[in-house]
Structure 1
Amino acid sequence: MKLHVVAAKEGYIWIRQGIWLFKQNPLGFLMLVFMYVLAAQLAVLVPIIGVFIVLLFTPTLSVGFMTACRQAIQKERIRPSVYLAALQASPLIRRRILQLGLVYTALILVLSFILSFLVDVELLIPLVTSDKPISPEAMNQLYLIFCMGSLLYVPIGMLMWFSPVLVAWSDMSVPQALFSSWLACWANRGAFLVYLLILGVALVAIPFSIGAFFEALDLVQVASYLNTPITLLSLTVMHCSFFAAWKACLAENETSTLLV
């Protein structure tokens, strides 16, 4: 593994390469993202334990999707079992990837604990239970928790961005992988800023604008029909672009070639 420092414009190139990679096997990648979303939704229905399971196996699933990216470039078939790639590796890698999942779970719990002191949770209950109309105060709290949560997640994201593949593919220990991931993100912060701004437009600004437009026309259901496939497609391209970011920032002996 070798750290590469790239220009800020690379963030845009990662998105383009993610789109190119998605085109190599759109059905395979959409299947993987749909499986993850469905499994996460089913898991969280199990009180407390479900959320822990999702967080614990997030690094494992990340390695699986990155493996699928390699397979797509090599024109290999993508199967659902690719998500188990890290768990099917050596016992050492399997243990480390699960340890990384425990670290990620702990970090998210700390983030949630901090947020609980910054927002009024009681005002957000109507958003979950639908017992009564959402008040302006509840909406303000929702925006606050989104902004604060995004800000607090940045250091977690830097630690976890590359660490799963560094553990699985570069034979790094968990502390070494976490540090290397943080260092790679910090060294290429300009590219990541451009990259995240583009993703923010695709995942937040566009769906929000569509929703607001059709809500003004009293056609909220139409917005839902449009936003669901747009969001799913954006999430899939985003996951494909993770491979491009890893290849640009850290890969040294990677033979898979990405085109634009």
Structure 2
Amino acid sequence: MNVTTSTLSLTVADVDASRDFFCTHLGYQVAVATDGFASLTRDGEAVDIVLLRRGTEVLPPEQRDQRAGGLILALTVTGLDAEERRLRQAGAPITMPLREEPWGERLFQTTDPNGIVVQLVEWAARPEGAPAMTVITPTDGNVTESPNARMTGLAAPSRGSAELSTWTVSMTAGQSGPEHSASREQVWTVTSGALDVTCGDRTETVAAGRTVVLPPGVLRRIHAPRDAEAHVAMRADGVVSLPGTEGTRTLPWAR
């Protein structure tokens, strides 16, 4: 078999929206286009793309309204960090922040208006046999806002760590987190302000520069008497439980 060109055919609700996304953000060009159809190509080794409007009679009846669930278009690039900055600055949605896998693959994802997931990939260069070092830069996609605090995820399994999750917590004066327990030990280091930490039947005011170790399985509550920030570390498989509720909860910023 002699393959001369590879083309990915995608059925979408809005051909024009996907065509504009791929041409504006990913360097594709329109080769052929008619109503409900666009054939896109790109210089280099990238796969060609055909966009078909859902319901088109070009497809067999049983395929006209199908969409590919879980499909990811992966493009291997150079200069991944610059590409992430370029797309973010251009307004393209970054739907999975840049991360590095333990096996050396660096990647992030963007998604077009029809839900087509595009993954940009670069392989990290490292000496043969050397473990991968991961440098994590927090982005807006790593931030979780709640009525109780603002959490910014740092190390986590989804961002390159294997054993630990770390994150920062910002609380304004008067904010209090819910009473809960964690399945793993947590280490809180207050970096500014102060936190009132209640664990079991003991309450301590932990000022900036001090660290508190919270044991697993014990109810705790965090209150900010004034504006405060802290750095938290926990084993990556830790989950939390809330009194009066069933089951456990993962921490989105620590996954």
TM-score of the pair, normalised by structure 2: 0.19
TM-score of the pair, normalised by structure 1: 0.19
Structure with the larger strand share: 2
Q: Which structure's CA Rg is the greater one?
A: 2
Structure with the larger helix share: 1
